[in-house]
Amino acid sequence: MPRDSGRNRPEGKILETVGVFEAVKQHGKYETGQLFLHSVFGYRGIVLFPWHARLYDRDITPPMSDSKREPPGTHGSKEVKGKTHTYYQVLIDTRDCPHIVSRELVIFFGSGLDYVSHEDILPYNSAEQLPIQHELFERFLLYNPAKSPPFTARDTLKAWQEKNHPWLELSDVHRETTENIRVTVIPFYMGMREAQNSHVYWWRYCIRLENMGSEVVQLRERHWRIFSLSGTLETVRGRGVVGREPVLSKEQPAFQYSSHVSLQAPSGHMWGTFRIERTDGSHFDVRIPPFSLESNKDDKAPPAGYTF
């Protein structure tokens, strides 16, 4: 059963049970109001609603007959077929946010909102009417003991989802593993803005690195190639990511961060590598799976308060 980690409890207080684990869903999806622990980052959360994304997993080798020419930046490999996969928009318990040291939260319209893959969810139930501490919890969810799970969506959650759908929608997820380091990329289109008499298109992308092996490694450098439909190809090199050089170990096997990119064209591609260092000082490059930057047909500006 999940327990309060005790990192915020008064000195001398014992661990407290916060809920009872439920069976993991092998088929189907979790409903609005499902409580869970994140299987990698360990935080408590609650499901707001599901998204159906296309997962392009480059670790799965397609049949030879499926080989076709790919866009720039695909490393000359075979075409990857997207398969439908379930992700969830969730609220994160604010008590756990300060202790998620191995990741940067994916923040949209306030703190403590995230996207979680189906396999990352460890479901549990709780007898508490307010099991998650978050400023949006009572605005979005209503306690209903007659339902399972006992939390249902308020009209405010449905209206928020409908209003912000263009900037919340998760459509494509890209994944590739190199020498036991798996990189997952989720791009989001964020809208178009006018600047100096030209259109500038913006995307945010979330990247998760996972050490699937037992060796301790550290991310040292990033190397990006950014291709725009306007015909430009930009190269970006730098130390670490978001000012950090994370260590991936058995204790902290994953790191997640988000960043953004802009183009003066409605579409493009990004790809690249991370330079990873072993404990003996040797290095190897981990591939960042190529992903498309596609704009929406309705190029409205994001709602007020939405920042890049």
Is pLDDT at 296 greater than 90 in this prediction? no
Report, as an integer, the average pLDDT of 244-266: 93
pLDDT of res. 169: 80
Nearest 10 degrees: Cα torsion 27, 169, 180, 243: -150
Q: What percent of the chain has pLDDT over 90?
A: 65
Q: Please give the pLDDT value at position 61.
A: 61
Residue 160 host element (H or E): helix 155-168
Which has more confidence, 91 or 195?
91
User: Can you give the pTM of this predicted structure?
Assistant: 0.84
Query: Long-range CB contacts (< 8 A, 24+ apart) of 275-278?
Result: 275/219, 275/220, 275/221, 275/222, 275/223, 276/179, 276/181, 276/217, 276/218, 276/219, 276/220, 277/217, 277/218, 277/219, 277/220, 278/215, 278/216, 278/217
| Domain edges within the chain | 30-60+81-166, 175-294
Q: What is the pLDDT of residues 2-33, one digit of tens each?
A: 765 444 444 444 566 778 999 999 989 999 99
Instruction: Give the tens place of pLDDT for each residue, 162-205.
Output: 988 777 787 899 999 999 999 999 998 888 888 778 899 999 99
Predicted local confidence at residue 66, as pLDDT? 43
pLDDT tens figures, 27-53 = 899 999 999 999 999 999 999 999 999
Mean pLDDT of 225-232: 94
Calculate mean pLDDT across residues 81-101: 87
In CATH, which of 3.40.30.10, 2.60.40.10, 3.40.50.1100, 2.60.40.1470 is domain 175-294? 2.60.40.1470
Cα dihedral 265, 261, 105, 155 in deg (nearest 10): -20
Model confidence pLDDT, tens digit, residues 63-90: 544 444 444 444 445 568 889 999 999 9
Q: Minimal CA–CA distance to 47: which of 34, 62, 63, 28?
A: 34
Burial degree of 38 (CB within 10 A; 0-12, 13-18, 19+): buried
- 251: which strand partners? none
pLDDT digits (tens, 9 = 90+) for 131-170: 999 999 999 999 999 999 999 999 999 999 998 877 778 7
Helix (H), strand (E) at residue 168: helix 155-168
pLDDT: is 308 or 121 the higher one?
A: 121
